[in-house]
Amino acid sequence: MSSPCSSCAGLTCVVDTLSVSSDTGAIAFRLVSTQRVIAVVGPTATGKSDLGVALALALGDAEIVNADAYQLYRGMDVGTAKVTPAERRGVPHHQLDVLDPSEDASVAVYQREARADLAALDERGRRAVVVGGSGLYVRALLDRMDFPPTDPAVRARLEERAEHEGTRSLHDELTALDPVAAAGILPGNTKRIVRALEVIELTGGLFSSHLPVAEHVRPAVQIGLDSPREELDARVAARVDRMWDRGLLDEVRALDAAGMGRTARRAVGYAEALEHLAGRLTAAEARDATTAATRRLTRKQMGWFGRDARTVWLPATAPDLLERALDVVARADAGTLDVPATGEPTRRSLGS
């Protein structure tokens, strides 16, 4: 069980039962401090990995937990700008190179494995610096989010009904069963409607009760890296140039020969390189398409992370970025950081 601990600067402490006296029935406990997680988030090409390593080194008792969906894959190094062993500077990294490119990544599996990493770090008295731009993965790790069961047979039956009865009919059914869920799903979104009805049938509860809640499940502070759009676009172009110059095509050619799954083939840079290797794009076209796709990705990331009012935003190119980030961490640890407890939507405009 857990409870607020006045001696831990507002952190939550996990209470473990040690023993129960056979004579008195008294229970002995020990307190295990749950260290505050530091999350470094924001758009691609803002320098999150570098800041994460610098923070870990400055804190002295920290390790990195990756939250980039494609850096989970072994061999997908150049195209994901994965930190090299030298760039890690001796800081242990977790959730890197844990999947073969032939496998499809699962947010539910990532949540289970990455949360186990956090627990293991706690046990060793280490703190975690979560680094990544995959918003769903960051939320799955840090926020209240569960993953209801699935059943291929139930889903197939619902999909067949949608085909014969029409998606609108299933949406009407969902409205009657779970109006909150139905209000958040467009009547033409067959995939989500089927999923909602599948969960209702399998659990006997509401699909809306399983929707993610922007509330940390453990003490955490979120530091976001922001960059003006023109500057970020230039950083993206330079990043793509580095990828191609460092052998992205050779990397993709080798991965494709070994077998790439659906998820890996969709990664920005890899998808365009595959199109070039298949003869459908010239090298220049593939390179330009990668730059354009990466810029679209940064806009999406800006929208995703920019909605979360819990994030403290820092300028990515600030000369004193590390000092500013350490100050945010110190204030969070002291309980003096003025951020909301939940991720209520904000109108903050990023990249301006």
Q: Cα separation of 246 and 238, whole Å?
A: 12
Residue-by-residue pLDDT tens, the chain, 352 positions? 444 443 344 444 443 333 333 343 433 333 344 789 999 999 999 999 999 999 999 999 999 999 999 999 999 999 999 999 999 999 999 999 999 999 999 999 999 999 999 999 999 999 999 999 999 999 999 999 998 888 999 999 999 999 999 999 999 999 999 999 999 999 999 999 999 999 999 999 999 988 888 899 999 999 999 999 999 999 999 999 999 999 999 999 999 999 999 999 999 999 999 999 999 999 999 999 999 999 999 999 999 999 999 999 999 999 999 999 999 999 999 999 999 887 755 545 555 5
Assign 150 to helix, strand or coil. coil
Q: Which residues are annotated as a binding site for substrate?
A: 44-49
- pTM (predicted TM-score): 0.82
Hey, what CATH topology would domain 37-141+218-334 get?
Rossmann fold (3.40.50)
- pLDDT for 6: 36
Q: Cα separation of 118 and 43, whole Å?
A: 24
Q: Which residues are annotated as a binding site for ATP?
A: 42-49
Q: Cα separation of 308 and 339, whole Å?
A: 10
| Ranges of H-type helices in 100-189 | 107-123, 135-142, 152-165, 167-177, 179-183
Q: Report the top-level CATH class of 152-211.
A: mainly alpha
- pLDDT for 1: 40
The CA-atom distances, in angstroms, between 152 and each of 159, 171, 265, 266 are: 10, 20, 24, 24
* Residue 138 contacts residue 95 (beta carbons within 8 Å): no
Q: Give the residue extent of every domain in the chain.
A: 2-33, 37-141+218-334, 152-211
Burial class (CB in 10 A: 0-12, 13-18, 19+), 218: buried
Q: Which residues are annotated as a binding site?
A: 42-49
Give the residue among 328, 336, 338 at the shortest CA–CA distance from 59.
Answer: 328
- pLDDT for 32: 40
- pLDDT for 348: 52
Q: Cα separation of 197 and 165, whole Å?
A: 15
- pLDDT for 344: 59
- pLDDT for 210: 86
Q: Cα separation of 43 and 296, whole Å?
A: 10
